[in-house]
Structure 1
Amino acid sequence: MNQKDTQSLLSTLNGVLFTGGSAYFNNDPGNFYWPQVLNILSYLREFHRANPQVAIPLWGTCLGFEAIICATAKVHEPPPQKKKKKAGTNIYGTFDAENLAVPINFTSNASESRIFDGTMDPSYSKSVYDIFASQAVSMNNHQGGFSPSDFLGDEYLINNFTLLGTSNDADNVTFITLMESIDSLQLFWYVFHIFANEYFSVVYVIYNFFFFLLLDQFCITRYGSQFHPEKPQYEFDASDATNTPHFYDAIFANQYLSEFFVNECRLRNNNTMSQTNYENSVIYNYNAFYLAKAESDVSYEQVYVFPAAQ
């Protein structure tokens, strides 16, 4: 699907998911993934600017999580003549976190986040929060990622996202694992407070004006997890999912995240799709292939095969 057709389809969707997988974050010939990531993010940003009261929520898992972070920073790279290298794909680090289930070390922001203190039932949210914090139920399968220091050291990332949690890899190295975009209402009251304070300084106001200029998405609703919420419930490949937790609490907690995101998609916009468009676009038009046989070296149980991008 070309970029124009992608944008046309996006206008009829209630939400977007960037899945995990394997792809390169560059514009090399033949790489359609990265240009489409930037295309989709650009459309979501423009959609919200044109319709400030609504948004098309986005969730990124693993590779998708990494793509959102790299794209957010990369969008703001200054021109070469500035002689100043901004963060972007250069903060993309390496970690030993393949086939690894670990707990989440939540930040002080997590308990009051939209994910855990938003539209979901409070007791349900609290139960899930406690499970993630105390049990090894976040399933990781990645080598790339971002350290907390690199993430928090990038002004564009911290002015667009709230870091909710970190985890440690097999070498006990910490990586970020859960985030959400900054809440628009929170930003409104933050700036209102600045201008309402009779003791504010001109310098402080100017500083916070430029703070607003750093906001890439004008509070587009975006979420991301480095871990895979889908694996505990759906991944049972004996060779590549030996450490995937399938016990009740693991499925209960991870399923919550998909329920939360679907609920966000219901609440954030009223986009609709024609029956014909749905029938032509739905995944059931494509065949799924089982690849996890003993002689296979493919790390996925099942894949869909799509026509080559035009």
Structure 2
Amino acid sequence: VHFTGSSLQMWLLRLTLVALVVGLAQSARPVAEVEAQAISNTANTYQLPPNATYKNTKPLIGILTQPCHDCPGTSYVAAAFVKWVEAAGARAVPIRFHASDEELARLFRSINGLIFPGGLTWLWLDAPYVITARKLFNMALEANNNGDVFPIHGTCLGFQLLHILASNVSRNDLLIETNSTSHASTLKLMDAAADSIMFGSLNHELQKKLEDPMLNLALENHEYGMPPPMYKKYPVLSDWYKILTTTKDRQGIEYISSMEAKKYPFFGTQWHPEKPSFEFGIPEIPHTLDAILVAQHLANTFVDYARFSSHKPESHEQELEMLIYNTPVVFSAKDEVFADDNYDGPDMTYYFDPDEKPPHGPDDGPSYSGELKYASRRDYEAMKAAGSYSEFKAWQTQRRRATVAQMLG
């Protein structure tokens, strides 16, 4: 291409003006948003192993149960997670959080993917629930490192759990309080979402609608969130994951709402893709066709990666025995009474290892009579302030001794 002196000057002037406009536009964006975009742009995207093919078309998805102590069982799974994977062509297998190492290994060899569900369990590093989750997480790492595809999806609490497992940083250090319970909101797509597994193949119109505050297609339902700067404060997080979307709570506090791992088929949503199609107890849950299409897209994407897993039960009889269908589902929204501060009570619930306890909504915290259920606001505040499960247990024991001494005195 040949330029005259004047045409070259005009071309350089135009190029300078374009760069100036782009620079001004970038500088006008909120600092937190610019930081989140910068972090998300450092990422690559997980790739299937060379020549990977479907290993099964009826995948089994494990769902880690959560503890509950004033309910008809020792642990539970919200039925919406079961329906979510079923709608994408998979079947659910409950994995008890208190299972033995031998049982965990047997189940892992049989399932093709794993869900860390949402709920109200406290994620201290030394909590039994987190310890079991870490064992499964490490099994998944080893499998993927050996070319055996094994996906994980974490929702809400499970999203936070994936960060804790990758960083080994306390939830008290990673999370901040947010005003986000029962909050239908938007998802602000970061640049990294464009070539991501979770959103890259999502219909472009739906991508735009996710950011529309008139539609609010995502249901947020959590008291804690992770601000984007945590990926800079703890670089191990940005080594592991890339930020795909952010959301603001009712006070305008920005937190990460979607991410995926760079080197593994691990996905996380702080929001609840299982609720639009299968939960109706919270009035704010969006039930529009667009909300359901987005939720279904994520289920399809996650379950499709499970089809590349070669795991399978040892026999057809063992497969039938593992399935969640062996456990009756409870219409918890109708038949149970939830604690006042339980904001996540599911419509339908599977309870495991039932005993003679009366029906009650699933929850997780300290109590006078149980290991974890909280019965008073003082207990709840103490749990928030505690740095670990063992620290809280020590506080609880001390308080009970003081109560007994007062009664005897």
TM-score range, shorter chain: 0.7 to 0.9
Contact 2:243 2:260 in 1 (8 A): yes
| Equivalences for residues 264-275 of structure 1 within 5 A | 264-267=305-308, 269-273=309-313, 274-275=315-316
- Larger Rg: 1 or 2? 2
* 1:204 corresponding residue in structure 2: none
Specify the alignment match of 1:157 in structure 2: 237
For residue 24 of structure 1, report the CA deviation from its aligned partner.
1.8
Query: Which residue pairs with 1:172 in the alignment?
Result: 252
Please point out which of 286, 293, 298 is paired with 1:257: 298
Q: Is the 8 A contact 1:128 1:256 kept in 2?
A: no
Identify unmatched segments of 5+ residues in structure 1.
Answer: 75-86, 183-218
TM-score (norm 1): 0.75
Query: Which of 108, 119, 134 does residue 38 from structure 1 map onto?
Result: 134
Asked if structure 2 preserves the Cα contact closer than 8 Å seen for 1:97 and 1:142, the reply is yes
Which residue number in structure 1 is paired with residue 198 of structure 2? 115
Counterpart among 331, 334, 339 of residue 293 in structure 1: 334
1:211 aligns with none
Question: Residue 19 of structure 1 contacts residue 60 of structure 1 at CA under 8 Å; is this kept in 2?
Answer: yes
Decide whether aligned partners of structure 1 residues 48 and 295 sit closer, same or farther in structure 2, where only a CA change above 3 A counts: closer
User: Partner of 1:159: helix, strand, or coil?
Assistant: helix
Residue equivalent to 2:268: 224
Count of residue pairs the alignment pairs up: 247
Aligned match of 1:54 in 131, 143, 148?
148
CA positional deviation for 1:295: 7.4
Pairing 1:14–2:118 present: no
Spell out, residue by residue over 1:213-247, the C-alpha distance to the aligned partner (whole angstroms, 9 max, x if none).
Answer: xxxxxx2221000000011111111xxx1111111
1:23 lines up with 2:126 in the alignment: no
Q: Given the two structures, how large is their TM-score scaled by the length of structure 2?
A: 0.57
**Does 2:366 correspond to 1:283?**
no
Partner of 2:32: none
Relative to structure 1, the CA distance from residue 295 to residue 289 in structure 2 (aligned partners, 3 Å threshold; closer, same or farther) is closer
Cα separation, partners in 2 of 1:305 and 1:294, compared to 1, 3 Å? closer
Aligned to 2:183: 100
Distance of 2:351 and 2:125 partners within structure 1: 23
Distance 1:150 1:247, change over 3 A: same
Deviations along 1:156-183, one digit per CA (max 9) or x if unpaired, are 100010110100111111110000111x
1:304 CA drift (Å): 1.1
CA contact (8 A) 1:116 1:126 kept: no
CA RMSD of aligned residues (A): 1.8
Deviations 1:79-137 (A, max 9, x none): xxxxxxxx4421122111000011101111111112223xxxx4x53243223222311
Contact 2:190 2:243 in 1 (8 A): yes
Q: Which residue of 2 aligns with 1:215?
A: none
- SS of alignment partner, residue 236 of structure 1: coil
What is the distance in 1 between the residues matched to 2:120 and 2:107? Answer: 24
Deviation at 1:27, TM superposition (A): 5.6
SS at match of 2:236: helix
